[in-house]
Structure 1
């Protein structure tokens, strides 16, 4: 009787399981498209807690770069450390570092890994208090880098680890 009941239940559940499997694999295969233009957002400047929106972005004719990071991410730590050591190649880029964590964690991260970037006038540290970066920019992992031209149109995007030489080349294109 037990065999018949479990066998019957298996046949009832199998179509549901197949549909669920296909739905999940289909959803994973279709990556959310990254916006071709900088989306509207409200982040907060870590230094003074002031709201920071798309209207606050530099309009100096230079590339606009968002680096989305997590202070606990080792790839993020290494990338920011490498960018700091190569700051001379980044002076002509508007860099916006964005994290969702608390300000004390963001500041500790920058002190430890981004010390050579801290205080530079083209580097802005932002907190995503409202957790909107992921929904609007659509990164899939840390670190995520979005390179926009002065016209606020997407030029390049990548998730995850990348060699610093390749990053610098992409940021300056």
Structure 2
């Protein structure tokens, strides 16, 4: 029995570790807008009031598509005091398809930015455990308010963004 536990312990600890979200916004260097390379977002130029929402997604992921639709549908509930960053590692044509199909109403919102992580910086800094992974931070303190891992509905964001 002890032998089985010894074999399982590394997997259990990896599972617990993977579900930890950073307590404060980690420092990051460069996420580039899918619209234009001239818009670069880093940890130094984030808003300092309201809420910051990072949504790490894959354009082909069904749960990510459902969440994108849900965010768009519920956006008026939290739009005025929140900035949303949709971050993906996908190529532009896939993200364009995601935006046009699931989140077209967010396309021209001033507080929604679709960003490209050209490497693995988001993975390394935020350590997401699922697609999608959504992190809600207080913009002033940079402290984590809530982390959503995997399938969820954006209505669940509302209590954390008021």
TM bucket (normalised to shorter chain) is 0.7 to 0.9
Q: State the Cα RMSD in Å.
A: 2.1
Q: What residue is the counterpart of 1:91 in the other structure?
A: 79
Structure 1 gaps of 5+ residues are 1-15
Residue in 2 that maps onto 1:27: 14
Structure 2 regions of 5+ residues with no counterpart?
Answer: none
Query: Does residue 1:115 correspond to 2:86, yes or no?
Result: no
Q: Give the corresponding residue for 1:53.
A: 42
CA 1:111 to 1:146, structure 2 compared with 1: closer, same or farther past 3 Å?
A: same
Q: Which moved more, 1:90-99 or 1:48-57?
A: 48-57
2:61 aligned partner: 73
Match of 1:7 in 2: none
Number of equivalenced pairs: 157
**RCO greater where, 1 or 2, for CA within 8 Å and sep 6 or more?**
2
Separation in 1, partners of 2:74, 2:124: 31
Per the normalisation by structure 1, the TM-score is 0.81
Structure 2 distance, partners of 1:109, 1:46, is: 12
1:149 to 120, 138, 143: 138
Measured in 2, the distance between the counterparts of 1:35 and 1:74 equals 25
State the 4+ residue runs in structure 1 displaced beyond 6 angstroms.
none
